[in-house]
Structure 1
Amino acid sequence: MITAPLPPEALARYPGLERLGRTTTRLHPRPGAVTPADSHVGGPLRWPADEPWPTCDVPYMVHEEVPIPADLATRMRTAERGRTRANVLTDDELDLHREIAALVGPGFSGWGSRNDGPLFGHRYVPRPHPVPNPMVALAQLRAADIPDLPRPGGADLLQVLWCPFEHSEAPWGPTVRLRWRREAELTDLLAEPPRGEVGTDRYVPRPCRLHPEQVVEYPYPDELPDDLRRLVDEDDDEDDEEADEEAEEEAEEEAADYVATFMAPGWKVGGYANWSLTDPRPTPCPRCAGPTTLTLVVDSWERGAARWQPPPSDGDPDEATGVVVGRHGALRVFACLSCPDVPFLLDQQ
């Protein structure tokens, strides 16, 4: 066991929460040699020799810098000196912001300078791949190893691939492909997959062995029934009534305590989605508009708070895979298990 048990007093704070428990399989990726026969991150796939390797033809995003004229930079610095409050922009600054955005053009993402040098505007623009780009193997998951892996149509193997570039398709990041298979049907295998171009090194995973562990987790607070949600809100309200700033900071920490206690961090299969950054979003099937199931979480971090931390002997797993999603966030795959072709959608937190 890697995860410490849930303290009994934690559930006692929320009567009725226990019935909402759902299993999830924490994958616990750790660097190590893997083979096509294993469940793994970043290793070789059991890919049929007669099946084309997936490629990406979606334009990828390229960062460009646009010089900002010296007179415009001077006007900006003059406008900044006209502030009456340090963090409140003047009307002149707002007008200049719009002028800079128009100058930089579509894809504008801000501006800045290096070491107090000239100002540059930043933008991201789409660029087509010269040829369809072969995707990178992200993960291979066997139902025999991972009890919470769905088995649509009797499949017992999931292969996940992505294109290691930034793309503007929602969410911003790699394009993703899933392949659901039956292991018994895989005999004549591809010896060596094609290699493509890499735009972002943090989208190329290190080979990692998995150490699956099934645990129980509970819904995000906003997805709780009203009576339980009120209990969580009351915990926050009690702390918010404190008068001094220190108590208010403690209240903010309390607001995250439920998630830190009841929701598993890191790479996992199944379970509940953590909506701490955006609040819950709808995740309808892109084909039938029906419900989808959280199938896989690709996380930039493995270490969580308190009980979710690995034992000291397990080392520091946070950079085990080398994968960083967004701003050190997580990519979640929601799959429709009712449609025959298992369509899916992505969400990034």
Structure 2
Amino acid sequence: MRTPALPADALAALPGLAAFGRTATRLHPRPGTVTAQDSHVGGPLRWPADEPWPLCEHPHMVNEEVPLPQELLDRLAAAQRGRTQHNIITDEEAVLHEELATLVGPGFAGWGSMGGPTMGFRYVPRPHANPMLAVAQLRAANVPDLPTPGGADLLQVLWCPFEHAQDDEGVWGPTMRLVWRREADVTGPLATAPDSAVGDDGYVPAPCRLHPEQIVEYPYPQELPEPLQDQAKNWPGDYVTMFMAPGWKVGGYAKWQLTDLRPTPCRVCAGPTRLLLVIDSGESNATARWRPVEEAGADPGTLGYDADEPTGVVVGRWGALRVFVCPTCPGAPFRLDQQ
């Protein structure tokens, strides 16, 4: 698949930006039949038969419903009617929100109705050793920007498809495992992976073939030198939409639109890490800038799939999970960030 070319005048309007261009490989996952020999999303892994399948032993979070007294809900409704501005809660509402949170208990996640009575929601940890789920398999032969630490030419990505409170990363979502290996070393591949219990269907990717495409993208404005930062802010258009690729990708730059730029230092050497992989809920951000030429203007009914959400994966509130690795410490634990 091919991304539309960057408009010729875009870089000309930002003198000096071209020097910061970095390649990334857009993976372009699209539903299709895959095998353990392919690069893919959501398919079988080329896994050694004599190697134990990884388990997640981190307590996963389960959503529980808690009945709420009608008297409390009536008081809350009355307080809401007392607003002078529809989008600003009253002091009485704030107190009632705290009362609701106390009633629902630790892990409080709000309240609402799923077609029945209004209930309180909380996430509680449940210990359970769960076989991890295959998310992606990437071959260096297919993905130009994939690192090859120690001569590895295959990256396998797995996660536990439940919510987890990962306090050390500030990330709420699936626990993840990265496995680097040399394809030539896998001589007796596993026939079938064990079944994984699933807590969130948005963490179960549909089998997708990849259509890798190497592109050039540019840093998030806060990563640029100050003079270029100012130029990016004053650029007549949406800088991030124009210069930074959305969707599943390997390499390139990370966006920081929710938190602003924050460090992701290596856990071993404390040096800077680099973006390895982005697992995104959407592929084009609904803009023509990043929609593949082959799908531009196509009727979704003729494609047979949702071109912007082909994998079915939903991270957070339709965000992206980003994986960072240290280029000088191949064995160091990776870092996660969600935006």
Q: TM-score, normalised by structure 2?
A: 0.91
Q: Which amino acid aligns with 2:292?
A: P
**Cross-structure match for 1:183:** 183
**Cross-structure match for 1:301:** 282
Change (3 A) 1:114 1:219: same
Change (3 A) 1:112 1:322: closer
Change (3 A) 1:44 1:321: same
**Cross-structure match for 1:159:** 156
Aligned sequence identity (%): 66
Change (3 A) 1:270 1:198: same
The aligned runs of 1:54-133 (5 Å cut-off) are 54-114=54-114, 118-129=117-128, 132-133=129-130
The aligned runs of 1:1-349 (5 Å cut-off) are 2-114=2-114, 118-129=117-128, 132-169=129-166, 170-235=170-235, 254=237, 257-304=238-285, 305-313=287-295, 315=303, 316-349=306-339
Change (3 A) 1:183 1:98: same
In the alignment, the residues of structure 2 paired with residue 201 and residue 69 of structure 1 have an alpha-carbon distance, to the nearest angstrom, of: 31
Q: Which amino acid aligns with 1:191?
A: A
In the alignment, the residues of structure 2 paired with residue 235 and residue 303 of structure 1 have an alpha-carbon distance, to the nearest angstrom, of: 21
Q: Which amino acid aligns with 2:41?
A: V
Q: TM-score, normalised by structure 1?
A: 0.89
Change (3 A) 1:15 1:52: same
Equivalent residues of 1:298, 1:331 under 8 A apart = yes
Equivalent residues of 1:42, 1:204 under 8 A apart = yes
Equivalent residues of 2:208, 2:311 under 8 A apart = yes
Q: Which has the larger radius of gyration?
A: 1
Give the C-alpha shift of residue 336 in structure 1: 1.7
Give the C-alpha shift of residue 19 in structure 1: 0.6
Give the secondary-structure state (helix, strand or coil) at the position aligned to 1:264: coil
In the alignment, the residues of structure 2 paired with residue 235 and residue 20 of structure 1 have an alpha-carbon distance, to the nearest angstrom, of: 17
Change (3 A) 1:312 1:87: same
Equivalent residues of 1:301, 1:328 under 8 A apart = yes
The root-mean-square deviation of aligned C-alpha atoms, in Å, is 1.7
Give the C-alpha shift of residue 71 in structure 1: 2.0
Give the C-alpha shift of residue 61 in structure 1: 1.0
Equivalent residues of 2:83, 2:89 under 8 A apart = yes
Deviations, residues 143-186 of structure 1 (Å, cap 9, x unaligned): 11111001111111101011111111141111100011112222
Give the C-alpha shift of residue 89 in structure 1: 2.1
In the alignment, the residues of structure 1 paired with residue 45 and residue 91 of structure 2 have an alpha-carbon distance, to the nearest angstrom, of: 57
Q: Which moved more, 1:324-333 or 1:335-344?
A: 335-344
Q: Which amino acid aligns with 1:119?
A: T
Give the secondary-structure state (helix, strand or coil) at the position aligned to 1:324: coil
Give the C-alpha shift of residue 312 in structure 1: 4.9
Q: Which amino acid aligns with 2:152?
A: A
Equivalent residues of 2:2, 2:294 under 8 A apart = no
Give the aligned length: 327
In the alignment, the residues of structure 2 paired with residue 199 and residue 111 of structure 1 have an alpha-carbon distance, to the nearest angstrom, of: 19
Q: Which moved more, 1:212-221 or 1:25-34?
A: 25-34
Give the C-alpha shift of residue 11 in structure 1: 0.3
Higher helix fraction (1 or 2): 1
Equivalent residues of 2:4, 2:293 under 8 A apart = no
Equivalent residues of 1:152, 1:342 under 8 A apart = no
Unaligned 5+ runs, structure 1: 237-253
Q: Which amino acid aligns with 1:309?
A: R
Equivalent residues of 1:109, 1:124 under 8 A apart = yes
Deviations, residues 197-224 of structure 1 (Å, cap 9, x unaligned): 1112221111111111000000011111
Q: Which amino acid aligns with 2:334?
A: F
Change (3 A) 1:79 1:161: same
Q: Which amino acid aligns with 1:301?
A: G
Unaligned 5+ runs, structure 2: none
Equivalent residues of 1:261, 1:306 under 8 A apart = no
